[in-house]
């Protein structure tokens, strides 16, 4: 296909596709899907080889959020039967993080629900960052705490944070239909604050909320303009008790096309398959590694993920390798640009010169976890007969009952 040849050439040159080209990727047929994956895979391998970066979520504070994000199980008014607890102590968070690091994760994402941190919260998270880094030499730490006030990004960086996650989630045109307690502009402002402070910016989207192809292209083009180092692609987990519980709009094929489009638009960014990959990609997850170079290991914030051992087996069986702690994630030109603006370039997680971690389950923090096998009930549910395309796979959605905030061993 001439379209794919053009997109590969542009991706290898880091050239932005046109909107029409991005939309055309989403409109390709299932017959052309393997060609699309192969083309985007060339771009992925150019910048990231066959490495897969592992990230691990620690939910520092679960539920109890005052924001009304429709997709979120921690939202104001949520009836989802999730774990609810206030701030983990630094040593508790450090212990939870250690399980992920032991499983191969090189980045720990510390997430807290809420509109945004108070100055006292920043102090609390600073202590947690110190505890995590003291116990896990060389680990990257990404904070995801919601909307930032002036000076807070600088304080987090000073405390040792390497990155900050805050997702745009959807297009500016449709944002007010998803959330009313804050604005799209608020989110953009927080990503820019992270950039300006020298933190590696992490910002992505949620697919499957009823958005159009145009909305998906809009948000990914907005992300390209913001230029985050990491772009998490979440696929909506329709949790019972939330307004979007009936939104089952994704197939594995559509998820692959979305990931391919993101790779073409953001060719040299760390593209991360985040929340919902197990629910919507299902047996196609290994194929998606040809498009994304990063995943979350184990469980998410309020829902279960694939067993950590299964993640590692999947990566190996698909012919990929886990990125080592001593390897630089980002391409050299991004690292050089980061060094020029004084951010944390040593590990390749710095933001770009000249510019001002996450699953969709978070509250205002919206970031998008921990070594036991999935609970027996979940295993039983996940052996149900395969559903027809577009059928709701509620059997694949399980609330997290282990790891952070519980007395049970985490899944990592």
Q: Active-site positions?
A: 65, 69, 72, 109, 142, 202, 272
- How do strand 205-207 and strand 230-235 relate by DSSP bridges? parallel
- CB-CB contact of 368 with 274 (8 Å): yes
Cα 122–chain centre separation: 22
- How do strand 205-207 and strand 200-202 relate by DSSP bridges? unpaired
- CB-CB contact of 405 with 59 (8 Å): yes
Give the Cβ contact number of residue 329 at 10 Å. 22
The DSSP H or E segment spanning 225 is helix 213-226
Distance CA 130, CA 90 (A): 8
Determine the 3-state secondary structure of 60 from DSSP: strand
Residue that is written with structure tokens 């790779």 in the block: 263
Determine the 3-state secondary structure of 163 from DSSP: strand
- How do strand 294-296 and strand 270-273 relate by DSSP bridges? parallel
Determine the 3-state secondary structure of 310 from DSSP: helix
- CB-CB contact of 75 with 65 (8 Å): yes
Give the Cβ contact number of residue 390 at 10 Å. 11
């Amino acid at each position: 296909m001439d379209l794919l040849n053009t997109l590969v050439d542009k991706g290898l040159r880091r050239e932005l596709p046109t909107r029409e080209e991005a939309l055309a990727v989403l409109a390709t047929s299932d017959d052309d899907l393997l060609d699309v994956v192969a083309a985007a895979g060339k771009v992925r391998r150019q910048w990231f080889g066959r490495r897969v970066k592992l990230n691990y979520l620690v939910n520092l504070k679960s539920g109890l959020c005052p924001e009304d994000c429709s997709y979120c199980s921690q939202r104001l008014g949520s009836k989802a039967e999730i774990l609810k607890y206030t701030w983990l102590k630094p040593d508790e968070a450090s212990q939870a993080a250690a399980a992920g690091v032991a499983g191969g994760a090189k980045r720990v994402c510390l997430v807290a629900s809420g509109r945004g941190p108070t100055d006292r919260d920043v102090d609390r998270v600073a202590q947690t960052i110190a505890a995590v880094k003291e116990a896990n030499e060389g680990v990257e730490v990404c904070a995801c705490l919601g909307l930032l006030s002036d000076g807070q990004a600088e304080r987090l960086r000073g405390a040792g944070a390497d990155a900050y996650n805050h997702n745009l989630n959807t297009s500016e045109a449709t944002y007010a239909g998803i959330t009313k307690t804050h604005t799209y502009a608020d989110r953009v402002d927080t990503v820019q604050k992270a950039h300006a402070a020298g933190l590696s910016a992490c910002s992505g989207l949620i697919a499957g909320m009823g958005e159009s192809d145009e909305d998906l292209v809009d948000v990914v083009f907005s992300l390209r303009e913001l230029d985050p180092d990491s772009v998490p692609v979440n696929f909506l987990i329709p949790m019972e008790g939330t307004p979007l519980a009936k939104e089952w709009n994704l197939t594995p094929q559509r998820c692959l096309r979305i990931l391919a489009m993101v790779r073409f638009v953001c060719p040299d960014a760390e593209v991360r398959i985040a929340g919902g990959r197990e629910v919507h990609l299902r047996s196609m997850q290994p194929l998606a590694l040809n498009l994304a170079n990063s995943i979350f290991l184990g469980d998410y914030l309020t829902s279960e993920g694939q067993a950590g051992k299964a993640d590692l087996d999947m990566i190996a069986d698909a012919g990929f390798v886990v990125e080592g702690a001593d390897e630089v994630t980002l391409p050299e030109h991004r690292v050089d640009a980061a060094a020029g603006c004084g951010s944390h370039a040593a590990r390749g997680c710095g933001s770009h010169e000249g510019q001002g971690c996450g699953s969709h389950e978070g509250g205002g923090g919206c970031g998008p976890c921990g070594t036991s096998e999935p609970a027996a009930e979940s295993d039983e549910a996940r052996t149900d007969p395969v559903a027809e395309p577009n059928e709701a796979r509620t059997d694949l959605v399980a609330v997290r009952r282990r790891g952070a905030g519980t007395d049970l061993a985490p899944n990592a």
